[in-house]
Amino acid sequence: MSEAIKINYLNKTDAESLFLMMNSNTDIFKRFFPKTLEQNHSIEASHIYISKKSEEIKSQSEFTFAIRNNLNIVIGLVILKDIKKDIGEGELAYCLDKNVHGKGIATKCVKHIATLAFKELNLKKLKIHVHKSNLASIKVAEKIGFRWAQTLLKSYQPPGEPYLDMELYELDYEK
């Protein structure tokens, strides 16, 4: 990987960078990240989004991490969501600026957050939902050790489209 990549929580100074990243990737995020995209439709909206994400981190209900390049610009997100502490499960979602695809950045960052989820949050299982057409995301999951578990029939509806079947990948914590 040629760039120095950092991953940490979003902060209030990230609003413009987050807005620019989300909106320069509208074509790819509108289908599988529509809510995140909508919540970052302006710099002001990104400020509100970051404040909301900070509150979720404090309550440990969801964790949103910024992937940053060597200039500290947000180039992607990794989200640990749908956390069920009672059964030790959570779901990972991730998106990356199209200009940095294919460099191993998503794999490195998702692996880092999976390790954090297991070691610091004591989760026992992580899940990733991905459409079969998203081969890059499937490769990320598989490189980290996630295994295909099942097809979830008509489990996700992109805006303006019929429901889609999604593939469920799972990773169990191994000590």
Q: What's phi and psi for 127, nearest 5 deg?
A: -125, 150
Is residue 161 very low, low, confident or very high in pLDDT (cuts 50, 70, 90)? very high
Question: How much is the pLDDT for 175?
Answer: 67
**Integer distance in angstroms from the first to the last C-alpha of the chain?**
28
pLDDT confidence band for 1 (50 / 70 / 90): very low
Q: Which two tokens stand for residue 135?
A: 């081969």
| Distance of alpha carbon 132 from alpha carbon 139, whole angstroms | 11
Q: Check whether 174 has a pLDDT greater than 90.
A: no
Asked whether the beta carbons of 115 and 108 are under 8 A apart, the reply is: no
Note the pLDDT tens digit of each residue in 62-106. 999 999 999 999 999 999 999 999 999 999 999 999 999 999 999
Distance CA 33, CA 93 (A): 9
User: Mind listing the domains of the chain with CATH numbers?
Assistant: 6-126 (3.40.630.30)
Whole-structure pTM value: 0.94
Percent share of the chain, pLDDT over 90: 97
Identify the pLDDT of residue 135: 95
| Average pLDDT along the chain | 95
113 Cα distance to chain centroid = 10
Q: What is the mean pLDDT of residues 44-71?
A: 97
Angle between helices 43-59 and 15-23 (to 10 degrees): 110
Q: In this model, does residue 2 exceed pLDDT 60? A: no
Region 140-160: mean pLDDT is 97
**What local confidence, expressed as pLDDT, does residue 17 receive?**
97
Q: What is the pLDDT of residues 114-130, one digit of tens each?
A: 999 999 999 999 999 99
